[in-house]
Amino acid sequence: MTPALIDADRSSSRRRLTELRRPPVWVAAVIAVAVAAWVLFLADGTPAGAAVDDPGKFLVTVLDGVTFAGLLFVAASGFTLIFGLMRTVNMAHGSLFLLAAYVAIRVQEAMVGRSRNIDPADVGLLDWLVPLLAGAGVAAVLGLLIQQVFLQWNEGQEMRQTLLTLAITVVLADQMLREFGGLAQRMVWPGAVTHFFSVMGERYAVTRLVMLGIAVLVGVLLWLWLTRTSVGIVIRAGVDDRQMVRGLGINIRRVFALTFLVGSFLAGVGGVLGASFAGAAPGTDGSWLLNALVVVIIGGLGSLKGAAAGSLLYGTVVAFSPAYLPSQYSYYAIIMTFGLLALVLAIRPYGLFGRPA
Amino acid sequence: MNLRERLTGETLALAGLVLILVLLPSLATAFFVNFVMTQTLILGLAAATIVFLAKYGGMTSLAQLLMFGIAGFMFGNAALDGGARGLNLGWHPWAAVGFAILVTTLAAFLLGAIASRTTGIYFLMLTLVYGVIGYFVFAQIVEISGPGGITSIQRPDLLGPPVRLYYAGLLLSVVVYAGFRTIRRTAFGLALQGVRDDPIRMASLGFNVPLHRTLAFTLAGFVAGLAGLLNVWWNGQIDPASISIGPTLILLIIAVIGGISSLEGAWLGAFVYVLVFTYLRDLPFVDRIGITEARFNTVIGVIVLAIMVLSPEGLTGIVQRLRGRLRRRAATEPTASTGGSLPVHTTTQKELGGTRS
Amino acid sequence: MSRLKRRTALALSMTAGLALVAAGCGGGDDESAGLPADQETVAGDGTGSPPAGGDGVRLGILGQCEGPFGGFHEDVVGGATLAMTQFAGATPGSSTTALDGFTGAEVAGTPIELVGIGCGDDTADRILQEVRRLVEQLGANVIIGPLSGDEGIAIAEYAKANPELTVLAGISGSQEQTLQVQAPNYFRFYGDGAIWNAGLGDLLHNQEGWDTVAVIADDYSFGHTSAAGFIADFCAVGGEVTSRVFPPLGTTDYSSYIAQLPNPDEVDGYFWAVGGTGTQASLEAFVNAKGDLTGDQHAGNLFFNPGLAQALGPDIAGAYVGGFATLPGDVQTPEIENYLAAADETWETIPGALSGNEPAPPSVAAAFGFFYGYYTAGVALVEALDAVGGDMSDLDAFHEAISGLTLDLPYGDISLDENRSGVVDVGLSRLVLDESGEVVQETVAIVPGVDQTFGGTFSPDTPSPGRDFPACEERDLPWEGNAIPVVDGVPQS
């Protein structure tokens, strides 16, 4: 903490230099090389086998990691956007994610006209896009409502805001259980994208690439919004210095509201994508809040670049650990996330692109 | 400390409370003592470690239930002999206690060291991730628990009758309360509070800031471990769901209900939580307004929401305010309104908002 | 400083006051169990002592109103209640919900009073607190429930520590609660999670010609138990399990786990025991990586029920499905019709889980295992009371009477084995498409008299089902070749 704080005042290049000398960086580098060597040449007793022996499986695992990272990015981007500007850790992010999923599923069922065994062939593009917008829209409105009612008047009290959103999460989870029941539900991909292609002899689904495509689209639009529009410039200025923005006479309250709306909308988009990819059920809210947290802790809170990098790293670990751990240890794949987290935090306590606020 | 200082109203009230609690088993029903009050003391102890870290260290930790759980799992592994799961070391119960506490304290030291360079919101999120990773560690590693957890855990003969467990909880609570209050005035406690208020200055004065945080976290882990032991003795079993994200948040909620900046609030919060949990549904007509046991989480969520909106210092804060108002009415002496601001908030605000670079 | 101290003092005295008030409340709430704690210490068994049976049955029901099975709270309470209205002359407390309980139940002159309904959330911790509330605060002496496997182990341990209590398990599916815990006052008139897949291996190996199979199941107790039943059955008749994959609970992206399965041309079929969101997510990951689903190459446990997994697509039609105590709606015997009609007479509607917790005819809920499992427990209570002439004063005799029962129930007779776990008939079914293109279940066979041990694979000395247990071994199964085929809903016996 302290070295980081002091470092922040110095020039960034000098910081990098000093950081490179720190032993954790070397440890991280050694670990990275070792992991790469393991995956490429040594991983014989693993479910996937060494990459040089079975490049198809390796490529598929890479694709799995990248496409899942896309979903992670969409889920985490709204979270990090809200934090970046408002310093609010929106613990209700997962609830908004799940609510959007449920709403979208209901809308899709109404549009297709049946509630179970929906065949992708019966789902047109609109039967997927309209529910997406409806679900994300509901999440956005609810998010805005939460911000207006509970968060606007206590701006700056991060811990209080965090606990408020935490309480909202508890209430929302319980009310969603009451309204939507405990059984798993899912969104159905439109028939237009449920196709397959071959990667070195391994079958691969187009839907996963669609997910990645949407994530890239979200990322590019967010980037354009933040860099090319006047609102975006105000937001970025607000991230750097709220007092100054306020002093310039800009109505930062409106900017806050807009940010929360967009952030919640993104949570909703993530929720609908997630429901199409893996379904929705009670508990999905908690696990996606956690996914978003892991991504932003790795990448650095409040940084869009960080969210992208964090998603990629986390997605890669999630995809590679079950495939490239020795078979008898593949049950521990989920724990490998912790290894990643500890490694990143040992080098950069505020994440890869984070700054000590 | 001289005698007169010790004989303050506070000490007298505390002594009175302890006396009442000591006599409670002959005043109240077995259920009230062995269930309600024993659970209150156990949860209160665990929540007190959250308060300790928040109040003196400026760290809001969501990993305390993990420490609580580690102690329980380790005791089960060491003490059981021939159980269905776990290591079944078959040690003497008190050796198992030592082992459990040792492992918990070591784990707290390690996790604390990794987290020690972060504060505020970052610390909260990181410790939440700890909690979830801990859940997966115990759920996936069948050698130490596996998904079914450790069952048929017996308490040591010394604590055989349930009322003795109550007294053990009471004794530990008194010792821990007094201990945490005493630490405040020790060199370590003063340095810790200095670290909380201004880490940069403390660092430049030559204090090892991360080490102080790590040691505080270790101490809190040790105490949470003691509570965790009481818990497995009270409950007879522990499984990964005992330390999943739901109960983790509940423990924080308990600390928040009581007032996250007041030590005694931890036990008060636990008491209110257990009371609501146990008796709310017995109130006549409460189900007529939709509050059935199925909506228990909504009730708890709304209580926390109300507390965070009305008085972020929790119930003890409300009590203090009422007292302040009463006194204002009695005497015309103006009351210090400082009771309304929460140390945690001011510190986190300072660290997160005040020192931006 | 001193001002602050005075404030704390007030807070503390308030706490003390609150404690006392609450103590008073606590004392007032229960007239029957008002034993001061210090007197109770002589029991020393770790928990409170419920009042012994002099004044009739004080019944507590353990359901789940939160967690993944929260929607089934109504169903399970309804099951126990139906047994009381049908056989003990009870009147339901409401015509539109089972949660209002019942009144006026009496068997052989002994009243059955419902003292409370416990609300679990699928965790052992919570159900322990709920059972303690029912027993120690409300004075229950008979418990019906719980619902899920880990809860069952916890409640069986609780029963063992409280010998005055009588527990009739609901649909809790772990083996351990009966096979290993061995509480003499814990009875389960229902199969465990392994039993529900009995006969599936026989059918797939001997009828469908599968020699090799890959198993994928949730990595927790129920997934392990479910897979263990299938593996024990399939291997006993001579089949071979070539790979076992256990994705952790809470996995979002199943692709890396699906990649560990053999390809469709390397194995005769796959057995799935993945529940919750995983049922569909794992199947979709399979389609993404391995190829289209061909129904005849897949089999699943009860998670393949179209009612539980609403999103199960039409491609899965043709897959075989293990049992879950009741039979799919295509089998209608007079006994089943009577049972469903009795449910419809008891309430006008109940909001069960299968109707999305919207009001629906009670027979919708009654035709599914959650409701039925609690119904069997309720019937067992009534028949056991009848057998002892309503006299519960001799608990050993009462427990012996329960152990000796053979219940003549709509979906087959149920008796108990020496570990007090049900010996039941298992119905196997197949997913088919109905005229409107919906996936529905169709009964294909009934396997009579399945017990917990699978011909010796499982015993009190074996470990709990896990990732490696049981091993794949050929052995004699009592029910091999005894399956009664069912054609168009009519058993061909």
Average pLDDT score over residue span C272-289: 90
- Whether B174 shows a pLDDT value over 50: the answer reads yes
CA distance C84 to C88: 5
CB–CB contact C16 B26 (8 Å): no
- Whether A319 shows a pLDDT value over 70: the answer reads yes
Query: What number of other Cβ atoms are within 10 A of residue C487's Cβ?
Result: 11
Query: Which chain B residue shows the shortest CA-CA distance from C135?
Result: B31
State whether residue B60 sits within 8 Å of chain A by CB: yes
Average pLDDT score over residue span B30-46: 96
- Per the model's pLDDT, the better-predicted residue between A231 and A14 turns out to be A231
Residue C455 C-alpha, separation from nearest chain B C-alpha, in angstroms: 21
Residues C314, C301 share a domain: yes
Query: Which of A149-158, A233-242, B243-252, C397-406 shows the lowest mean pLDDT across its residues?
Result: A233-242
A contacts of B199 (beta carbons < 8 Å)? 1-2, 5
Minimal Cβ distance to A297: which of B129, B136, B249: B129
Average pLDDT score over residue span C388-407: 94
- Could you give phi then psi for residue C352, rounded to 5 degrees? -75, 170
State whether residue A48 sits within 8 Å of chain C by CB: yes
Is residue C100 situated within a structural domain?
Answer: yes
pLDDT digits (tens, 9 = 90+) for C195-250: 999 999 999 999 999 999 999 999 988 999 999 999 999 999 999 999 999 998 88
C391: left (phi over 0), alpha (psi -120 to 50) or beta: beta
Query: What number of other Cβ atoms are within 10 A of residue C492's Cβ?
Result: 10
Residues C165, C103 share a domain: yes
The total of structural domains in chain C comes to 2
Average pLDDT score over residue span B140-150: 88
- Test the C interface: residue of A64, A117, A294 with most C CBs within 10 Å: A117
CB–CB contact B351 A357 (8 Å): yes
C contacts of A47 (beta carbons < 8 Å)? 259-260
Structure tokens at C139: 């004075």
Instruction: Give chain B's end-to-end CA distance (angstroms, integer).
Output: 44
Closest CA to B280 of C29, C78, C126: C29
Residues C233, C301 share a domain: yes
CB–CB contact B345 A160 (8 Å): yes
C contacts of B140 (beta carbons < 8 Å)? 219, 248
Residues C440, C407 share a domain: no
pLDDT digits (tens, 9 = 90+) for A26-54: 888 888 899 888 988 888 888 888 888 88
Q: 3-state class of C59 per DSSP?
A: strand
DSSP C463: P
Q: Which domain holds residue C115?
A: 53-191+332-420
Average pLDDT score over residue span B187-210: 94
Domain boundaries, chain B: 14-354
- Could you give phi then psi for residue C217, rounded to 5 degrees? -145, 155
CB pairs under 8 A between B and C: 232
CA distance C371 to C123: 20
- Whether C44 shows a pLDDT value over 60: the answer reads no
Residues C483, C337 share a domain: no
Mean pLDDT, chain A, integer: 87
Minimal Cβ distance to B357: which of A9, A87, A158: A9
Minimal Cβ distance to A48: which of C259, C280, C313: C259
Average pLDDT score over residue span B135-147: 89
CA distance C464 to C447: 24
Residues 232-271 of A with CB under 8 A from C: none
Query: Residues, chain A, total?
Result: 357
- Which of C420, C451, C478 terminates a domain? The answer is C420
State whether residue B301 sits within 8 Å of chain C by CB: no
State whether residue C151 sits within 8 Å of chain B by CB: no
Domain A60-340, CATH class in plain words: mainly alpha
CB–CB contact B309 A164 (8 Å): yes
β-bridge pairing C110-120 and C105-107: antiparallel
A268 with A138: CB under 8 angstroms? yes
pLDDT digits (tens, 9 = 90+) for C361-388: 999 999 999 999 999 999 999 999 999 9
Q: Which helix (H) or strand (E) holds B126?
A: helix B120-140
Is residue C36 situated within a structural domain?
Answer: no
Is the backbone peptide bond immediately before A190 cis, with ω within 30 degrees of 0? no
State whether residue B326 sits within 8 Å of chain A by CB: no
CA distance A59 to A55: 6
Residues C434, C307 share a domain: yes
Predicted confidence at residue C28, as pLDDT, reads 36
- Whether B196 shows a pLDDT value over 60: the answer reads yes
- Whether C13 shows a pLDDT value over 70: the answer reads no
Residue B265 C-alpha, separation from nearest chain C C-alpha, in angstroms: 9
CB–CB contact C277 A57 (8 Å): no
- Whether A244 shows a pLDDT value over 60: the answer reads yes
pLDDT digits (tens, 9 = 90+) for C56-85: 999 999 999 887 788 899 999 999 999 999
CB–CB contact B147 C221 (8 Å): yes
pLDDT digits (tens, 9 = 90+) for A269-307: 999 999 999 999 888 999 999 999 999 989 988 889 999
CB pairs under 8 A between A and B: 157
CB–CB contact C119 B296 (8 Å): yes
pLDDT tier for residue C5 given thresholds of 50, 70 and 90: very low
Residue C316 C-alpha, separation from nearest chain A C-alpha, in angstroms: 10
Query: What number of other Cβ atoms are within 10 A of residue B230's Cβ?
Result: 27
ipTM of this predicted structure:
0.87
CA distance B202 to A235: 34
A contacts of B351 (beta carbons < 8 Å)? 357
- Per the model's pLDDT, the better-predicted residue between B267 and C2 turns out to be B267
Average pLDDT score over residue span B100-125: 91
- Which of C420, C446, C475 terminates a domain? The answer is C420
Percent of chain C surpassing pLDDT 70: 89
Predicted confidence at residue C54, as pLDDT, reads 53
Predicted confidence at residue A262, as pLDDT, reads 96
